[in-house]
């Protein structure tokens, strides 16, 4: 999607993808990854998700990258944290002891010269149209150390029933996208949102599932 699309979504408060609650799959599956508490965790296209607070509470150093300045401002306003601000390469940095947010284009994040032990993606891959997903996965791979773990949450529904984000990215599509750079360790049990998703309840979608993946960055790209 073009940058203007997301700026307009935040400016008009059309952010139905935002959840106040910490994602249940994150809480269920992250502890099983057995990461050291001080791991550097990347959250791409982070919005203002409260999942970052939960990750910081596990003892991690959390780095979010987000295009919208409104999302970053809202995150810190809601959390009552007072960040230091600095221009860092192509980014406006918002820095606190345990959570750093970099406001700008994710596809320039390699200019930060930071590599990560892990990544958490609940809303990045599914925010991007098919034409941008290969570029996204390649950039994610550049930012992660060999052996780094990714917890990825995708959604799956009948693609012809919805044309915009969050996009449906099936298990087969995720496997094909990540295979050159990552080893797929596990696909966790699918969570069906049939009974609670408003667009299923209204009849707009026949089904809406969350699929959780555990992937590990390969030593060498294929």
What mean pLDDT do residues 16-31 have? 80
Q: Output the pLDDT for position 91.
A: 96
pLDDT for 2 equals 58
Query: Is residue 8 in some structural domain?
Result: yes
Q: What is the pLDDT of residue 97?
A: 95
- Span 25-33, mean pLDDT? 94
**What is the arithmetic mean of pLDDT over 170-197?**
84
Domain assignment present for residue 74? The answer is yes
Please determine, for residue 215, whether its predicted confidence score (pLDDT) is greater than 70: yes
Question: Does any domain span residue 66?
Answer: yes
- For residue 222, being part of any structural domain is answered with no
Residue positions forming the annotated binding site for S-adenosyl-L-methionine: 10, 45, 66, 122
- 118 is a domain residue: yes
CB contact at 8 A, 211 and 153: yes
Residue 132 lies in a domain: yes
Q: Binding site residues, as ranges? A: 10, 45, 66, 122
Q: What would the pLDDT profile of 115-139 be if each residue is shown by its tens digit?
A: 999 999 999 999 999 999 999 999 9
Q: What is the SS3 assignment for the chain? A: CCHHHHHHHHHCCCCCCCCCCCCHHHHHHHHHHCCCCCCEEEEECCCCCCHHHHHHHCCCEEEEEECCHHHHHHHHHHHCCCCEEEEECCEEEEECCCEEEEECCHHHHHHHCCCEEEEEECCCHHHCCHHHHHHHHHHHHHHEEEEEEEEEEEEECCHHHCCCCCCCCCHHHHHHHHCCCEEEEEEEEEEECCCCCHHHHCCCCCCCEEEEEEEEECCCCC
Average pLDDT over residues 61-86: 93
Q: Which residue has the higher pLDDT, 125 or 190?
A: 125
Q: Is residue 17 part of a domain?
A: no
Query: Structural domain tally of the chain?
Result: 1
CATH code where residue 123 lies:
3.40.50.150
What pLDDT does 137 receive? 98
Per-residue pLDDT band for 156 (boundaries 50, 70, 90) equals confident
For 64, counting Cβ atoms within 10 Å of its Cβ (0-12 exposed, 13-18 middle, 19+ buried), the class is buried
Q: With respect to residue 149, please indicate whether it lies within any of the assigned structural domains.
A: yes
**Quick one: CA torsion of 208, 213, 217, 222, rounded to 10 degrees?**
-70
- Percent above pLDDT 90 for the chain: 68
Range of the domain at 90: 3-12+22-217
Q: When comparing pLDDT for 200 and 131, which is higher? A: 131
> Residue 200's pLDDT band (boundaries 50, 70, 90)?
low
Nearest to 151 by CA among 109, 182, 112, 196: 182
Torsions phi, psi for 49 (to 5 deg): -60, 135
């Amino acid at each position: 999607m073009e940058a203007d699309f997301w700026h307009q979504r935040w400016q008009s408060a059309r952010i139905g993808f935002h959840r106040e609650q910490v994602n249940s799959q994150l809480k269920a599956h992250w502890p099983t990854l057995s990461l050291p508490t001080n791991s550097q965790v990347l959250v791409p296209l982070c919005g203002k998700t409260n999942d970052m607070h939960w990750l910081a509470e596990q003892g991690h150093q959390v780095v979010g990258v987000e295009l919208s300045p409104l999302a970053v401002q809202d995150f810190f306003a809601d959390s009552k944290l007072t960040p230091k601000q600095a221009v860092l390469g192509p980014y406006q940095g918002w820095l606190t002891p345990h959570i750093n947010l970099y406001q700008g284009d994710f596809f320039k994040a390699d200019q930060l010269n930071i590599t990560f032990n892990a990544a958490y993606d609940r809303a990045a891959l599914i925010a991007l149209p098919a034409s941008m997903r290969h570029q996204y996965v390649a950039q994610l791979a550049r930012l992660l150390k060999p052996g780094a773990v990714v917890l990825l949450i995708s959604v799956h529904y009948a693609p012809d029933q919805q044309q915009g984000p969050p996009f449906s990215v099936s298990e087969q599509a995720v496997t094909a996208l990540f295979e050159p750079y990552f080893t797929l360790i596990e696909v966790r049990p699918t969570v069906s949102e049939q009974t609670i998703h408003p667009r299923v309840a209204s009849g707009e979608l026949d089904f809406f599932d969350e699929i959780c993946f555990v992937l590990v960055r390969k030593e060498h790209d294929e």
